[in-house]
Structure 1
Amino acid sequence: MREPINVSGMVLSASPVGEYDKRVVILTRELGKITAFARGARRMKSPLMAVSNPFVFGEFQVYEGRDSYTLSGANIKEYFLDLAQMQPGVYYGFYFLELAEYFGQEGNDETQMLNLLYVTMNAIRSGKQDLRLIRCIFELRTITISGEAPQMFSCMECGTKENLTVFSLRDSAIYCPNCGKTIRDPWPLQPGTVLACRYIIAAPLAKLYGFTVNEEILDELERLLRAYLHRYVEKKMKTLQILDVMK
């Protein structure tokens, strides 16, 4: 019999299989995104019942199969049970899990994404920050981790780092006003929006949720990220549809 593999991660999604089993998707540091089957997890006295739910974060023991893994046990560090009582925070949480599942890849080192998920769930539960801003931060940082961050630190054309206020969605880059006259899709941005994007892209994780913006900047940041994310996410997110209805 094969030895179990110990992995650290978070359950992104869970769905019923058959009468008593579950299929779970886990984002792990060691193996990237994996699919695992939890046999008997829907039985009332199963030790896998509590550990095979979304948001659960900890160490999991899995056995490798031909096309998937089998979950055999877990040592849970955080269940994030209180999120279930937070409306609409829990819906944002499910959206972040779905987005992480979309970008997660099997075999990748997903340490950055896991750490981002952990601090983001804690940011939701703290209740100190606008959920709309938390969403913007998570979306842009996720895009950054995936290697698709926009160029926001210098003009794409002349290289200047001053007075950057014209964005091109087509080029995924910022321009100075002079160079911005030559691009096909100029999108004027307020300096505060550019600064917010820079902070989200480059800030240390521990300080990522340590800033706020005014309503005007938040509105513009939301519009920018909706358009930007539309370019890189082909799937229609089910949880995103729920958030849109709640607006």
Structure 2
Amino acid sequence: MKETFDSDNRLIVNGMILKHRPVGEYDFAVTILTMERGKISAFARGARKPGGKLSGNVEPFCYGSFVMYEGRSSYNIIEADIINYFEPFRRDLEATCYGTYLLELADYYATENSDESRLLKLLYLSLTAFTKDCFDKRLVRCIFELRALVIDGQYPGFPERRNYSDACRLAMQHISGAELKNLFTFKLSEEALGELVEITKIYRDMFVDRQLKSLDMLATLENGSL
């Protein structure tokens, strides 16, 4: 997406807050996955002040547009127009565990000053699918992880050396090749889903070279099925 600037020559980016941490007494340092500049870090001055202009608008899962000044070594957020707060991830423990894991994994794969538009769209669609009861959250998680590998250029394809079912093979073909908007259009039997979870774990162990903090809680939630 082409970058835009407002009348004061301030940069406007569209994206999602992946994480934040307190800085000083009133500020947050945030990480945003943006459509225009990939993953960026920025300061949100006064965001921890009750009633502040940015209060509540630089929390994880917030998706919208952010107006910021670009300094020599950092960005400073001035305004935020949030389109979707993804409220279910703030109220429900299970949803929080799954959603936080996706944010952390997106943070792992994303890089600065690169085209991360597909990863951002995948993240948004996956979080949206999590909020719908018709989707098994384990399947949504697998779809995100495998398609993220495709986007990152590391996806190894279907494992030919194991006797997995045709349903699992077809599911992986769909995950790796379908348009993003059509990813979440199928269901799997418990047996085929178990195979997909197993393959996803194998690939995660192969390609993710650090411990993800949110994975431990998610593993407990899924009774060790990770």
Structure-2-length-normalised TM-score: 0.91
Consecutive unaligned residues of structure 2, counting only runs of 5 or more, are 1-7
1:221 aligns with 2:191: no
138, 146, 161: which is aligned to 1:140? 146
Give the superposition deviation at 1:187.
2.5
Give the superposition deviation at 1:76.
1.2
RMSD between aligned alpha carbons?
A: 1.3
Runs of 4+ in structure 1 off by over 3 angstroms are: none
Q: Paired residue for 1:201?
A: 176
Quote the Cα distance in structure 2 between the aligned partners of 1:132 and 1:65.
41
Deviations 1:172-218 (A, max 9, x none): xx4xxxxxxxxxxx322222111111110111222211100001111
92, 97, 101: which is aligned to 1:91? 97
Larger Rg: 1
SS in 1 for 2:131: helix
1:130 aligns with 2:136: yes
Identical aligned pairs, as a percentage? 40
Quote the Cα distance in structure 2 between the aligned partners of 1:88 and 1:105.
28
24, 35, 44: which is aligned to 2:41? 35
Q: Paired residue for 2:187?
A: 212
Give the superposition deviation at 1:222.
0.6
SS in 2 for 1:187: coil
SS in 2 for 1:188: coil
1:18-57 paired onto structure 2 within 5 Å = 18-57=24-63
Quote the Cα distance in structure 2 between the aligned partners of 1:188 and 1:234.
27
Which amino acid in 2 is paired with 1:102?
Y
8, 11, 22: which is aligned to 1:5? 11
Quote the Cα distance in structure 2 between the aligned partners of 1:150 and 1:128.
29
Give the superposition deviation at 1:87.
3.4
- Bigger shift: residues 9-18 or 200-209: 200-209
Consecutive unaligned residues of structure 1, counting only runs of 5 or more, are 153-166, 168-173, 175-185
Give the superposition deviation at 1:97.
0.5
1:117 aligns with 2:92: no
Which amino acid in 2 is paired with 1:141?
R
Quote the Cα distance in structure 1 between the aligned partners of 2:96 and 2:134.
15
Which amino acid in 1 is paired with 2:216?
Q
Structure-1-length-normalised TM-score: 0.84
Quote the Cα distance in structure 1 between the aligned partners of 2:172 and 2:206.
17
Which amino acid in 1 is paired with 2:206?
R
> Is 2:88–2:95's contact at 8 Å kept on the other side of the alignment?
no
